[in-house]
Chains A and B, each alone.
Chain A
Amino acid sequence: MSARELEPQELAEVITTVAGVTVTARSLTDPPTRTFADLGLDSLALLGVVAELSRRYGIPSRAEALECRTPRDLMAFVNDEIRSGV
């Protein structure tokens, strides 16, 4: 597993490519309470985003990742998984 952490810029790129919703790194967490739904992502879109992140980082607890409601929560969750895997 990679020791590299998931940064907002990379998540923004994944969302733009996988979900077809153009977002900036800043818009993901400003305000910090911004949800995926606010950004126009439904549950299928989130499924695609998490699958792509899993391919890049390996996320053992994908079902839990899918419960994240905000980009901020998802980044924290993924980075926890990355650190615990090191």
Chain B
Amino acid sequence: MVSELAVTGIGVIAPTGIGLDAFWKAAEQGNCVLDRVDRLAGTGYPVRVAGEVRGFDPAEALEGRIIVQTDLFTQFALAAADLALTDAGLDPSTLDPFEVGVVTASYSGGVEFGQREIQALWRDGPDHVGPYQSIAWFYAASTGQISIRRGLKGPCGVLVTDEAGGLDAIAHAGRAIRRGARAMLVGGTEAPLSSPFALACQFGTGLLSASDDPYTAYLPFTDAAAGYVPAEGGALFVLEDRRAAEARGGEVWGVVAGHGTTFSGLNRFDPGGEGLVAAIRAALAEAGCAPEEVDVVFADAVGTRAADDAEAAAIRAVLGANVPVTAPKTGYGRGYAASAALDVAAALASLEHGVVPPTPNVTATRVDLDVVTHLARRVEPRSALVLARGLGGSNSALLLRRASG
């Protein structure tokens, strides 16, 4: 019988910093690191501003043998997994390998790697496609590489539900723990900024901000909302049964108390917010949490009028207009599955530190919500709700609770 699902390790690779400490400090201060990105200019698409991870050197984090066979999104995942395990103080080689598994989510996959190899195929012929194309560009690459690197033979999975995947993966890993897994590595990473192919997959949605001003490009919930700014990076977590974690002396960041997910139509964001309402209700029901017990909401914050309105309506419908709502991602971008994972990291740090980080660059909002702007707010939250929607029609909500009551 599982006591509670405890997050015992957090590994963050974010545009605002590598490691939870740097990431949280930037979130708490409301730093904005969005910037004009040279790689984007080379893609030929009118997208200029993004959240780029600038402090990450694959050669520092990983062996050369691994680098040649992986896309950047997998390199982020491998590095974040190492950080999460170190943070958890857990060496998986001390556990039964069949009791430790991996679940990752990605929306973009290894598109840069794929584009390079497909160009070689088109230009020079099949003999010029490298063998690692067979493994590197698929969504499953990160889960597979982590499991190989760490010798993990427990339940493994891969989810592709756009941003919602970062939350759904955690729920999926939670089910594995309930079925007997001893520990799970779980999270989401993305590297969607480096190739025309990657941009083509995003630009066609019409949701990307075309602004070239980093400070006004991504302003969800405002009159100036003009889409979102893409980002790369991600986060991985170590998830364990709380009793087992504490028995080994592991420290608990927070508890995954409830998850809900719904599907409300292809190729559009949840019209009206009904799907998100149902997801929030399901997450609260699983957690046994009353609406008034939710102390802070980490919003999806798509940054278009319709999607923002739908999200605001969903939050008001279930939780009312007084719950503090924040979107730290306006400081570093919306990175699909990576973004939901980073929101979970921010929410756990928020519960731990008793502070709700602000929504960078957003000042006057036009929605009837208590959006935390300008400065972090000390509210000692005991529970945090993270929201994420996917363009494919998925809507997810994850309720996290503070480790100590």
User: Which residues of A are in contact with B by a Cβ distance under 8 Å?
Assistant: 16, 18-22, 40, 44-45, 47-48, 51, 54-55
A2 to chain B, nearest CB (A): 17
B67 to chain A, nearest CB (A): 6
- Write 26 A-B pairs (CB below 8 A) sorted by A numbering: A16-B64, A18-B68, A18-B130, A20-B63, A20-B64, A20-B65, A20-B66, A20-B67, A20-B69, A21-B64, A22-B64, A44-B69, A44-B131, A44-B132, A44-B134, A45-B65, A45-B69, A45-B131, A47-B131, A48-B130, A48-B132, A51-B127, A51-B130, A51-B131, A54-B127, A55-B127
Which residues of A lie under 8 Å from residue B67 when comparing CB positions? 20
Tell me the bound Cα distance from A51 to B126 in angstroms. 10
A-contact bits for B60-103, CB 8 A (1 contact / 0 none): 00011111110000000000000000000000000000000000
User: Which residues of B are in contact with A by a Cβ distance under 8 Å?
Assistant: 63-69, 127-128, 130-132, 134-135
Closest to A52 in B: B130
Tell me the bound Cα distance from A16 to B63 in angstroms. 12
Which residues of B lie under 8 Å from residue A48 when comparing CB positions? 130-132
Which residues of B lie under 8 Å from residue A51 when comparing CB positions? 127, 130-131
Closest to B65 in A: A20
Which residues of A lie under 8 Å from residue B132 when comparing CB positions? 44, 48
- Of B63, B66, B68, B127, most buried by chain A (CB within 10 Å of CB) is B68
Q: Which 9 residue pairs spanning A and B have beta carbons closest together? A: A20-B68, A20-B64, A47-B131, A20-B65, A44-B131, A48-B131, A21-B65, A48-B130, A20-B67
Tell me the bound Cα distance from A40 to B63 in angstroms. 11
